[in-house]
Chains A and B, each alone.
Chain A
Amino acid sequence: MPTTIRFFASLREEIGDNKTLDSSKLSALSTNSIITTADIWNHFTDKELTENILISVNMEYVDTKHPIKEGDEIAFFPPVTGG
């Protein structure tokens, strides 16, 4: 099952639209057995994963060390500005 990576707002304009990783590409992201959200970010961009970039996995907020499993939907986005 592919793992989906989404970027929103200004990050989408800078890094690109929705991306996927199959299981072999996902496991190749790290020499550890654990792949984190930071590993996912670093695979798609050289841009620094700064504190103000928000991360979600399966639509719940997480941090940069959150472990990823195959089939997850990971999203990266700038600070929210609704309302």
Chain B
Amino acid sequence: MKITILDAQFDSWQSIADYQKTLTKHTAKYGATAVFVGTMRDLNEDQNISDMFLEHYPGMTERYLEKILDENTNKHQLMDSLIIHRVGHIKPDETIVLVAVWSGHRKQAFEACREIMEELKSKAPFWKKETLKSGQEHWVEHNTKGY
């Protein structure tokens, strides 16, 4: 299980490939890998966005991401999992978040990936401040619905 909070761009697909190479004790044991990649868009609720600042609560954010992965590992018998989440200034088309899970079968992988992502969005202390192309700024007040 690995959690990284990063104040820099990263390549989500390379990160998955690099992490998977380390899963040597599970080689030929995991039958399913499920992935979610969240990317910043230049549009939100019909407003053109030029930049986003993503704030977090150092210490509590990591604690809650670890709890989310621990609980889902037990619930879905995951073999391994990975979260990478950006903080700081983010531009459109950059990756915001990566969630990847490895399990024996697809049911656990699909369900775990979905649940991890939804719990991250509802419990992990992150907050987004968007800058519009007009220069105005506002805090995002609520998440879009996942289900």
Chains A and B bind each other:
yes
| Interface Cβ pair total, 8 Å cutoff | 68
Distance (Å) between the CB of B41 and the closest chain A CB? 13
How far apart sit A61 and B120, CA to CA, in the bound complex (Å)? 14
Which B residues between 17 and 69 are near A, CB-CB below 8 angstroms? 38, 54-57, 59-61, 63
Given A9-B129, A10-B139, A80 contacting B124 (CB threshold 8 A): yes
Per-residue CB contact flags for chain B residues 121-147 toward chain A (1 = under 8 Å, else 0) read 111111111000000000111110000
Distance (Å) between the CB of A31 and the closest chain B CB? 31
Which residues of B sit under 8 angstroms from A10, Cβ to Cβ? 127, 139
Could you tell me if B57 and A78 are in contact, using CB atoms closer than 8 angstroms? Answer: no
Of B54, B57, B63, B96, the contact of A75 (CB 8 Å cutoff) = B57
How far apart sit A30 and B17, CA to CA, in the bound complex (Å)? 56
Per-residue CB contact flags for chain A residues 1-31 toward chain B (1 = under 8 Å, else 0) read 0000010111000000000000000000000
Which residues of A sit under 8 angstroms from B117, Cβ to Cβ? 83
How far apart sit A61 and B64, CA to CA, in the bound complex (Å)? 10
Could you tell me if A59 and B139 are in contact, using CB atoms closer than 8 angstroms? Answer: no
Q: A41 within 8 Å of B by Cβ?
A: no
